Amino acid sequence: MSIFDTTTLSAAGVTPGSATAAATETRANIIEATQAAEDAVLTPKDPGAFPHPLRAALAARVAALGGEPALAERYAARAGGSAALADPAQDGTDQGLSHLMAFVDKVANDTRNIDAQDIAGLQTAGVSDADIVRLCELVAFLAYQLRVVAGLRLMTGAAA
Amino acid sequence: MSRIVHKFTRTVPQWQPRVTPVKLDEATPEQLDALSVTPSNTKVSAYVLTLAHDVESLKVRSPLFNAIMYDAGGMSRAEREVGALAASMVNRCIYCAAVHADRHAKLEKDTSVTDELFAKGENADLSPRNRVIFDFARKLSEAPVGATAEDMAALREAGLSEEEILDLILSSSLFGWANRLMHVLGDPVREEVSA
């Protein structure tokens, strides 16, 4: 896979031959490791309580909330039966997952106000510590990827 | 007794997990393998043992982190720390902000930039170059689409190369990730000194 085929560079519209592409080629190891990190949170061998389609839905949700509709669409396409949760307007009540949706949305977009009660609330709802870490890694990676995509797009000079 | 640290500081606190970390003597072979890719394998931190709950992410994360912050070329290490610090201040990750302010001060052999940032936040009196670097990283941290074409133009006008701009995007975005682990999964604490 060329670095230009990774989710991050293709979502940002970085194409070979541009000045932005030349810069990313000097950091090809980082672009490749970013794809490996994406695979680790979207399609891990051990998904814990979060099957791959649900992970894709959550990724799409975080991307949509972050103002990256094209990336949201890419992830939503892999969300299968969990696709409803890709829509940030859905609070997860219908799926019995409202506690998870509230946590995901807060970690993604109101990080500074997360406190011990947010974690205790998940534990009370029966989410295991390992699954809490898995969920944080998924949202945290997306926070990184969305910003790299948005930053690269600014580098290319394209409008959002 | 320990108390939670709420104010920005360069004195690095302890990190106290809100979940139970993996116990080293109960770790699976996969977890042990992922733990060995971290810089210190004799004494594994509570933070890394916490992240070992998601072993596949931990394994890819450490090399990625090191490449973004330390690989040769591009932006100076100290300026990458400004990107990391801006994100950590936006997300109020006291622990990350302490580590990276301390690193910046040591790399620059000067505490004035981080003193100023901790005292005045976004209104800090900074050099023109640090000003555009901090502002871009702060806006990108506040929201993925928070930085604008004008902010990008300001980086170029301040003389940053394309490689430096890419490194700034990477380092500040990386802390969008790191803050959402450190600040969410644990508390920064300091032991109370009893009289």
Q: Which of A42, A111, A142, A153 to mutate to test the interface with B (most CBs of B within 10 A)?
A: A111
Q: Which distant-in-sequence residues (6+ apart) come within 8 Å of A86 by Cβ?
A: A56, A57, A58, A60, A61, A64, A72, A75, A76, A79
**Residues B15-43: tens digit of each pLDDT:** 999 999 999 888 898 998 888 745 555 67
| A-proximal residues of B, 123-142, CB under 8 Å | 140-141
Give me the pLDDT at residue B25, please: 83
Any CB–CB contact under 8 A between A106 and chain B? Answer: no
Which of chain B's residues have a Cβ under 8 Å away from the Cβ of A148?
A: 169-170, 173
Q: Please give the ipTM for the structure prediction.
A: 0.97
Identify the band that residue A12 occupies on the pLDDT scale cut at 50, 70 and 90: very high
The answer on pLDDT for A106 being more than 60 is yes
Per-residue pLDDT tens for A29-42?
A: 999 999 999 999 99
Q: Which of B16, B170, B174, B187 should be substituted to probe chain A, the one whose Cβ sees the most A Cβ atoms within 10 Å?
A: B170
Q: Which residues of chain A from 73 to 102 reach within 8 Å of chain B, CB to CB?
A: none
Helix (H, G, I), strand (E, B) or coil at A47: coil
Q: What is the pLDDT of residue B43?
A: 76
Q: For residues B82-101, give the mean pLDDT.
A: 98
pLDDT at B187 over 60: yes
Percent of chain B whose predicted confidence (pLDDT) is above 90:
87
Q: Contact, B109 vs B77, CB < 8 A?
A: no
Average pLDDT, chain A: 96
Please choose, from the candidates A127, A105, A123, the residue with its C-alpha nearest in 3D space to the C-alpha of residue A114: A105
Confidence check: pLDDT of B193 > 90: no
Q: Where in chain B is the domain with CATH 1.20.1290.10?
A: 74-176
- A147, B140 contact by CB (below 8 A): yes
pLDDT of residue B36: 74
Domain boundaries, chain A: 3-156
Q: Which of A22, A130, A148 sits opposite B169 (nearest CB)?
A: A148
Interface test with B, best of A62, A112, A136, A152 (most B CBs within 10 A): A136
The two tokens of residue A34 are 């970013």
CATH 1.25.40 for domain A3-156: no
Whether A120 and chain B come into contact, CB under 8 Å, resolves to yes
The Cβ of residue B171 has, within 10 Å, a number of other Cβ atoms equal to: 26
Architecture of domain B74-176: Up-down Bundle (1.20)
Q: Strand pairing of B186-191 and B2-4?
A: antiparallel
Please give the residue of chain A at the shortest CA–CA distance from B66.
A30
Chain-chain contact of B67 with A29 (C-beta, under 8 angstroms): yes
Instruction: Compute the average pLDDT of residues A89-105.
Output: 96
C-beta of residue A95 within 8 angstroms of C-beta of residue A84:
yes
pLDDT in tens, B136-168: 999 999 999 999 999 999 999 999 999 999 999
- State residue B35's pLDDT score: 86
| pLDDT given at position B32 | 87
